[in-house]
Amino acid sequence: MKHTIYYFVSLVFILILAAACEPDEPAIPNNPLNGRTTAVFNPDKNYGTMSDIDGNIYKTIVIGEQTWMAENLRVTRFQNGDTIPNITDNEEWAALTTGAYCNYNNTNNLDTIATYGRLYNWYAVADSRKLAPIGWRVPTIADWTELIEYLGGDTIASKHLKEVGDYHWNAPVISNNSSGFTAIPNGRRYLAEDFSGIGSYNVLWTASEYNATSAGFLYLWRNNTIVYKGVNYKANGYSVRLIKEMN
């Protein structure tokens, strides 16, 4: 009987010790946006996954030596858990010099948000609390240039980046999505002038600052193959894609 009691107490002690040694896993919330995207991904590609602090689960794709998100970001909190303000008023949005996000046309439709992602000003991109989860970051101009050059250069790469077909892009669209990047045309928010361009173009922030009021961006248009690079106001609302940190 004594041996039985000793065995039982020892087993309980071992189980408690094992549980105490397990690292704490952050709880990932059940996010209602997951599984709702209608994006048309490349069926010939092998996609990975990653998640953000809100529990959004995204497809990822390896292109050359880089790993990219294959969906637009839709997080509503910074990496430290602080809420990113959702600004719906146009004048308030245009006057911001701090991070914020919005949905195109301020929609609450879950399918639309899941598919197109959200729009962020550059102040959110540059915030020290970080949009990206650990191990990921907002790409610089140099990161985008490496991707574009791998896909043939500025004059041709756009067709390799864009989602195929006119389910989301307005026809005609030139695309083959050979990279698996699956760029979606979710338009932009331009200062206080409201939203424009859904279906016609995708504008993507870079992490590269130009001056006190402007930062770098990329622009994909529906019916040509060019990747446009430029600078524009930090207060604009553009899409964000993340790139994985190199090990």
Residue 2 lies in a domain: no
Domain range for 97: 48-244
pLDDT of residue 11: 40
pLDDT of residue 191: 97
Residue 153 lies in a domain: yes
pLDDT of residue 23: 43
Residue 167 lies in a domain: yes
CA torsion, points 154, 233, 206, 78, in degrees to nearest 10? -160
* DSSP output for 18-52: HHHHSPPPPPPP--TTTT-------TTS--EEEE-
Residue 5 lies in a domain: no
Residue 38 lies in a domain: no
Residue 25 lies in a domain: no
- Report the Cα 183 to chain-centroid distance in Å: 11
pLDDT of residue 29: 61
Write phi, then psi, for 112 (nearest 5 degrees). -65, -45
d(CA 20, CA 33): 34
pLDDT of residue 39: 98
| Ranges of the chain whose pLDDT falls below 70 | 1-29
Cβ atoms within 10 Å, residue 118: 21
pLDDT of residue 210: 98
Residue 196 lies in a domain: yes
pLDDT of residue 9: 39
Q: Give the count of domains, the chain.
A: 1
Residue 218 lies in a domain: yes
User: Is 32 exposed, middle or buried (CB count within 10 Å of its CB: 0-12, 13-18, 19+)?
Assistant: exposed
pLDDT of residue 30: 83
Prediction pTM value: 0.88
pLDDT of residue 247: 74
Task: State how far the alpha carbon of 172 is from the alpha carbons of 6, 157, 160, in Å.
Answer: 77, 17, 16
